[in-house]
Chains A and B, each alone.
Chain A
Amino acid sequence: MRLARVADGALLAIAVFIFLFIVLFPFYWIVLSSFTPKYELFTIPPRYWFSTFTLENYQVLANSIPLARYFVNSLLFAAGSSLVSVAAAFLASYALARIQFRGANLIFIVFVMSIALPQIGGLVPLFELFKSTGLINTYHGLVILMSSLVLPFTIWILVPFLRQIPYEIEEAAIMDGARLPQLFWFITLPIMRPALVTMFIINFIIAWNELIYPLVFATSGSNKTLSVGLVELAVQPTAGGGRPWDLLSAMSVVMIVPILVVVLLFQKLIVSGLTRGAIK
């Protein structure tokens, strides 16, 4: 019996170790490559630990592309679109969850089902529409696109959340003479703050990682995001045919670090937000 338990524990430990290795090794490799001088990247066999530590890749990267600009663009794009989607979803889910009317459920289902519409399928009409309305290569154009993309998911999470909150809290406020704006601002908003913050963070991460919209709709230099900069660097032919793995690794690290910070700070919130819809 005891032997069986020891064997069981050993198996579990091995499984956890394999899991951690598979998940973490690619990160290790990217980080290691980003601090390795270019000439040492192309050795056979590859080196598993620093032989020379260098920050040069980051310097070269910052000198060859407008890295800071891309970073700020990504930040503004992600924050702006998350703010818009959470605000719009908050209003909509208030109507869908709090006011009983015929068709509320149908509207909710239509919103949720529209998650399935593949983004890339509608890109051609959107491109023409944006060109004719002057929204192309604008910051607000991108924000509109991205906030709309994450909107159905946000509503999907917020509506059930709101339905769980007892009506009595709001009723009491109405009894005390609160009018709608006050009700919204002082009662509903504070109650929903955890869910709203959660959705903001999740939407931020999704927008930060987004590629297609910036790739198609932010083609001028001043609007590009980190993701676009990264793929441009990756598809650029270089002398000798090889890829600039030193610079690509450095840029990947620049792009990952903010996300890792957010994930580690808010992991409880993120997990609750991601799983609530699927579990209900």
Chain B
Amino acid sequence: MTQSPTTFAPIPARTARFRLTQRTRRIAILICLLLLPSVALRLFTAVYPFFNTIWLSFHDWNPAFPPQQFAGLKNFQALMRDIAVTSSISFTVLFVTISTLLEIVLGMAIALILHRAFFGRGVVRAINLIPWAIPMVVAAIGFRWMYDTQYGVINDLLYRTIGVKVPWLVDFWGARAAVIATNVWKSTPFVGLVLLAALQGVPQDLYEAGRVDGTNRVSAFFYITLPLIMPQIVTIGLFMVVWQLAAFDLVFAMTGGGPGFATQLLAYRIYQVAFTALNFGYASAISMVLFIVVGIASIIGLLLFRKVEVSL
């Protein structure tokens, strides 16, 4: 550590007088000072709440009736019997799986299109950024209006083209499909953006070599492009999974979890239990489920990433 080329190592005249220990101590203090604001922010708003949630999940606590009481595993036993919770877990997993798969496939298509040269490509690339940039609540409310069974434009377009109308947000599967479609609409361009950047990093001479060997465009994609950008696909996939597991705004503004519990996502359920029912202990237990699911997804993702990296 002492001979390492720190930025402050080559200060010949000033530091020569200090003994080694003094110098390292000064650097250590400097490091702490530089890290302090960030560490303090994260401890305060992410680490402390995380551990306190674990603690609270074993307690009964309604803020209207103050004393927290130890409840053991009661909250966890309750949530396993709670249909609102179990169905929100299964819909969350379904929502995240389908969304992520669609986002990667469609995002790849967008990336391949925007990678090619055509007139106006710059403008189209800029437009691709817009769904990422607009608020999820705006997308949710806009789509809710468009999905309106009677007056909605989506049903009108469907009726004009294929002659059917779907009772989108009042039907169990209709609502689920509508929520997932909106999420995919909002998030796919971002995946496309990342995959486009990945495509731009693939060296061109590989394709030329492939062309000499007589590969066509399809096999070039599957044998050159796809293996090379697999690490980025896995990274963005992991990102989308972890991020979407905590999705809240969409369902809050679009369906309120309905009809029934059809579109209750786990995060929305937590919010409901905590801030509508004011059942803080129980909400914390449900949060634990979310933490565990996110943890499992992260571990699978990281293992997958390592496997992809090694195979390259």
Pairwise interchain contact B45-A144, C-beta atoms closer than 8 A: yes
Q: Is the CB of A16 within 8 A of B287?
A: no
Contact B124 A19 (CB under 8 A): yes
B139 an interface residue at 8 Å Cβ cutoff? yes
| B129 near A271: Cβ-Cβ < 8 Å | yes
Q: Quick check: is A255 within 8 A (CB to CB) of the other chain? A: yes
Q: Which residues of B contact A114 (CB under 8 A)?
A: 42, 46-47
- Stretch of A51-59, A64-72, A190-198, A206-214 contacting B (4+ beta carbons < 8 Å): A206-214
**A88 in contact with B37 given A99-B6, A99-B8, A231-B253 (CB within 8 Å):** yes
Q: Is B133 an interface residue (CB 8 A)?
A: yes
Smallest distance from the beta carbon of A97 to chain B beta carbons, Å?
Answer: 10
Which residue on B lies nearest to A205, using beta carbons?
A: B133
Q: Which residues of A contact B168 (CB under 8 A)?
A: none
18 contacts between A and B (CB under 8 A): A16-B113, A19-B113, A23-B128, A41-B151, A46-B151, A46-B152, A99-B6, A114-B46, A117-B50, A118-B267, A119-B246, A122-B52, A123-B275, A128-B63, A148-B45, A155-B38, A211-B248, A234-B137
Q: For residue B123, which residue of chain A has the nearest CB?
A: A20
For B289, the closest partner residue in chain A by CB is A121
Q: Lowest 9 A-B CB distances belong to which pairs?
A: A122-B49, A125-B52, A118-B246, A95-B34, A209-B135, A275-B197, A121-B287, A92-B38, A88-B37
Complexed CA–CA distance, A93 and B142 (Å)? 39
Segment 17-55 of A: residues with Cβ below 8 Å from B = 19-20, 22-24, 26-27, 29-30, 33, 41-46
- Asked whether A29 lies within 8 Å of B6 as measured between CB atoms, the reply is no
Q: Is B48 an interface residue (CB 8 A)?
A: yes
Residues of chain A from 116 to 144 with CB closer than 8 A to chain B in the complex? 116-129, 144
Report the separation of the CA atoms of residues A20 and B113 in the bound assembly, to the nearest whole angstrom: 12
For B185, the chain A residues whose CB sits under 8 A away are: 22-23, 26
B residues within 8 A CB of A175? 10
Q: Which residue of chain A is the closest to B201 with respect to CB atoms? A: A279
Q: A249-B145, A274-B132 are in contact. List 5 more A-B contacts (CB 8 A).
A: A125-B49, A211-B253, A230-B135, A231-B137, A248-B141
B116, B129, B139: which has the most chain A beta carbons within 10 Å? B129
* Cβ A252 vs Cβ B142 within 8 A: yes
Interface centre among A19, A30, A102, A230 (most CB of B within 10 A): A19
In the complex, chain A residues whose CB is within 8 Å of the CB of B287: 118, 120-122, 124
Report the bound CA distance from A264 to B123 in whole Å.
10
- The reply to whether B270 and A121 form a contact with Cβ atoms under 8 Å apart is yes
Tell me if A270 is interfacial: C-beta within 8 Å of chain B: yes
B271 at interface by CB-CB < 8 Å: yes
* A174 within 8 Å of B (CB atoms): yes
Annotate B266-301 by CB proximity to A: 1 below 8 A, 0 otherwise: 010011001100001001100110110010001000
Are A23 and B232 in contact (CB-based, < 8 A)? no
Complexed CA–CA distance, A171 and B9 (Å)? 9
Of A29, A124, A252, the residue contacting B56 (CB under 8 A) is A124
A274 to B132, CA, bound (A): 11
Q: Which chain A residue has the least Cβ–Cβ distance from B268?
A: A120
Q: How far is the CA of A235 from the CA of B249 in the complex (A)?
A: 13
List chain B residues, Cβ under 8 A from A100: 1, 4-6
Q: Which residues on the B side are within 8 Å of A15 (C-beta)?
A: 109, 113
